[in-house]
Amino acid sequence: MYLAQLSKMLPESPDAIFSKMHQVKDWEASLKDWPLAHWVNTYFAYIEIVHFMGLFIFSASVIVTCLRLIGVGLTNEPVSVVEKNTRWFLHIGVVLAIGSGLLMGVGNADKLYNSQIFTVKMIAMIAGLIFSYCVMVPVAKAEGQAGGLAKLGMVIAMALWLLALVTFSITPTANVGIFHILWGGALILFIALQGKTRWVYAIGLLALILPWQVITHVFIREDLDAAKYMVVNKAFMYLTGAWITGLSLYNIFGKAAPTGSNAFARMTAYATILVWVTVGAGGRWIGLS
């Protein structure tokens, strides 16, 4: 019975689906004639400032709560207290970022509709919202313990994030943006690791970054041999990614840190920060690609 009801809701044929898609395309094409689109394009710079402020404001909540979940930063307070005190940053920041983002979308509808990297950003944004509201917040409220909702949210958001990452990495002219996500991970790890491990990690990272920069700017350059350059870039991306991921996993599944920090909480923290970095990197590369 349910299947019968469901089938009624689905389009009758592939042609019907394409017809709907054409309607979306027509609607998108009409957006540029809206008075709102003209207004947005006049004040675009200032709307973008609001967008950035939104990102900065909710990053205050995400970064501080997530670092506490990892076991660094405000360790004198329980995770739930940190989450409670930064909750409004998350709400206000998300509302500002999404509200201004929608306006920016109206002003640039044509460009965004045809942008693969915009799709990446949207998938990552959905993953980011799930990570933030369905995983990070409940886990923080429960002092690092994961309930059913958090576990389900983790699975769905992680799958979406991986989809966004894979799409990002195969998007021509934008895939170099993956490095932003790596640097985000590198920075978290530098803060999260303690003692000697931190310095071993930092030296290892420099030992990868310096040769990569020298090789790709002196010996195998993009303007002289683009094919080889891409191979070298990818090789260093995998090496750096392996180094950062390996040590992140060591940090996540290693010995327990302060109260409120456990493997699931730390995994939540890393993923939540990095998924928002993916959203930011996607936004940056919409403009560049």
Partner 1 sequence: MLHQTLAAHSVLNDFFEWVQFHFGEHSTHYGRSFSAALHEALNAWGLLEGTHLLTLMLFFGTIALVDTRLLGWTFRKTPISVLSEKLLPLTVTAMIIAMITGPMLFFAKPQDYYHNFWFRLKMVLLVVAIANVYIFHKVVQKNQAEWDTAETPPLKARLSGALSLLSWVLVMSCGRLIAYNFLECGKPHSAFINFTQECATSPLGAVTQADYDKQLADEKKAADAAAAPPPAMPSMPDMPDAKTAAPAGAVKPEAK
Query: Least distance in Å: CB of 8 to partner 1?
Result: 47
Closest by CA to 246, choosing from 194, 182, 289, is 182
- Both tokens of residue 115? 């942008």
Nearer to partner 1, 154 or 265 (CB): 265
For residues 241 and 86, give the distance between their C-alpha atoms in angstroms, rounded to a whole number: 31
For residues 185 and 191, give the distance between their C-alpha atoms in angstroms, rounded to a whole number: 10
Site residues, partner 1 (CB under 8 A): 45, 48-49, 52-53, 55-57, 59-64, 67, 73-77, 81, 85-86, 88-89, 176-177, 179-180, 183-184, 187, 190-191, 209, 212-213, 216-217, 221-224, 233, 277, 280-281, 284
Query: Least distance in Å: CB of 222 to partner 1?
Result: 6
Query: Least distance in Å: CB of 63 to partner 1?
Result: 4
For residues 232 and 210, give the distance between their C-alpha atoms in angstroms, rounded to a whole number: 13
Query: Least distance in Å: CB of 166 to partner 1?
Result: 20
Query: Least distance in Å: CB of 204 to partner 1?
Result: 17
- Both tokens of residue 47? 């709307």
Query: Least distance in Å: CB of 181 to partner 1?
Result: 9
Nearer to partner 1, 146 or 266 (CB): 266
Nearer to partner 1, 60 or 152 (CB): 60
Closest by CA to 284, choosing from 158, 213, 181, is 181
Closest by CA to 76, choosing from 84, 66, 68, is 68
Nearer to partner 1, 138 or 280 (CB): 280
For residues 121 and 165, give the distance between their C-alpha atoms in angstroms, rounded to a whole number: 10
Nearer to partner 1, 52 or 133 (CB): 52
Nearer to partner 1, 63 or 129 (CB): 63
Sequence-distant (≥ 6) Cβ neighbours of residue 37 within 8 angstroms: 31, 106, 107, 109
Query: Least distance in Å: CB of 225 to partner 1?
Result: 12
Nearer to partner 1, 131 or 264 (CB): 131
Sequence-distant (≥ 6) Cβ neighbours of residue 141 within 8 angstroms: 80, 83
Dihedral of alpha carbons 243, 196, 262, 91, sign: negative
Determine the residue type at 226: A
